[in-house]
Chain A
Amino acid sequence: MTDTAACIECGAEVGLDDDTEVGEIVDCGTCGTELEVIAVSPPVLERAPELEEDWGE
C-alpha cells in the first residue's frame, strides 16, 4: 500500500494499493462509505454510485 486519499464522507485517510485503477471501489475503513477512485495521481475519491436496479451480469 503506497498512497492514501481522504474519504469524502469522514475525512479519514483511505489506503490505496499501488496498482489501484481509476474506477475501482474502496471502502473507508473508518466510516464504511463505499468510495470510487476517480483519479490515481494524485488519488481522489468520490462517493461510489448507489446500486441500481439493472446492475449485475
Chain B
Amino acid sequence: MERHPAMNVGVLYSRIRKDEKLLLTALRDRGHEVTKVDVRRTPFSIAEAPAVFDGVDLVLDRCLATSRSLYVTQFVASYGLPVINAPRTAELCADKVKNSLALAGADIPTPATEVAFTKESALEIIERFGYPCVLKPVIGSWGRLMAKIDSRNAAEAILEHKETLGHYEHKVFYIQEFVEKPGRDIRVVATDGEPVAAMARTSDHWLTNAARGASVEPFPVDDEVADLVERASAAVGGGLLGVDLMETGVENGGPTGYTVHEVNHTVEFKALDSVVDVDVPERIVDWLEAKAADAVGVRA
C-alpha cells in the first residue's frame, strides 16, 4: 500500500459520535494529526481563517447539524482549505428538493417527486399520485417528520398541521411516490463514487433507517448498483457519501430495478462497519490520504 506523509486533518464537529470516534482513531493510529474544531465554539470570519486551522492540510466536515455544515464548509472553502465534503455537495445533499433535482438532472432513476407551496396544490399532487404516497420535510434526517399518507383525510390533516405549526420550510411540500420496496432499503457508503461497503436495512415499518432501529446486514454491490452509486455521487459533486437506494420490486428472486432516493453528505457508518468485513474507517482514511495528496499537488 502506498504510504502517504502524515497529515493534519481538521475535523468539524458538534458531537463526537461513534462514527467520528472511529475516524479519529483510524487517523491517529495511522500517524496523522487531528485538529478537532467544535463549530459551536468557533467563530468564523469572512476576512480570515480562525487560528485553529493553522497547519491543517485537509478539513473533514462531520457536523451533526445540517445548517452548520452548510455554512461552515463555505467558510472553510473561502479560506482556501480543501474541505470534504465540498460546500456545493453539502448543499445538494442537505436539501431534498436540490437532491432530487440533481439526481433527475443526471438521469438517475429516482422516485417521482413534486413540490408545492400551498396545501391546496399539495393536495392536488397527492390525489394525482394516489395513496399511499410520501410527504417529507425538505431538511431532515433519521426518518424524522416523514409521513406516509394513506388517505385523503390523512393528507388534509398533515398538510394543515405542517402549514399551521411548522416554520416556513415546512410549507415547502415535498411529495414523493411511495415505492413498494421489499421491506428494506440499501445504503452504500462511497468515496468519490467508489463503493466502500453496503448494507441492507430491513424493517417491518416503512421507514428503514438504522437510526430508527432497522436491522442491518451486508449487501453485495453488483454492477448495476455500483453504476448508480457512481453516477449519483457525481451528480452531487462526489466526496464521502451515503447513497440510499430501494429495490423497485422482486421478481424471480432478484430486484426488478433500483431507484436512488437520497444521497447523504455527512454519512454515518457505525452500523455498516459493524456488519461488513471491510474496515470502513480505514478505507475512508485511505481515501482522505489520497485527497490530501491531491490537494498538495494542486497547491504546489
A interface residues, Cβ below 8 angstroms from B: 19, 21-25, 36, 48-49, 52-57
Contacts and interface: CB of A to CB of B under 8 A. Distances in A.
A29 B276 CA distance: 30
Interface residues of B, number: 29
Given A19-B25, A56-B141, 20 more contacts: A21-B21, A21-B24, A22-B36, A23-B13, A23-B14, A23-B20, A23-B36, A24-B21, A25-B17, A48-B15, A52-B65, A54-B66, A54-B67, A54-B139, A54-B140, A55-B142, A56-B64, A56-B266, A57-B141, A57-B242
What 9 pairs between A and B have smallest CB-CB spacing?
A56-B141, A23-B16, A54-B66, A57-B264, A24-B16, A56-B142, A21-B16, A57-B268, A54-B67
B120 interface: no
Contact of A55 (B20, B21, B36, B65): B65
15 contacts: A23-B14, A23-B36, A23-B38, A24-B15, A24-B21, A25-B15, A25-B17, A36-B15, A49-B15, A53-B137, A54-B139, A56-B66, A56-B142, A56-B211, A57-B242
A54 B95 CA distance: 11
A57 B13 CA distance: 12
Contacts of B201: none
Interface string B134-160: 000101111011000000000000000
A57 B140 CA distance: 8
B221 interface: no
Contacts, number: 59
Given A23-B16, A25-B15, A57 B36 contact: no
Find the residue from A21, A48, A49, A55 having the highest chain B CB count within 10 A: A55
B261 interface: no
B140 A56 contact: yes
B184 interface: no
B65 A54 contact: yes
Contacts of B264: 57
B228 interface: no
A19 B17 CA distance: 13
A25 B145 CA distance: 24
Interface string B147-187: 00000000000000000000000000000000000000000
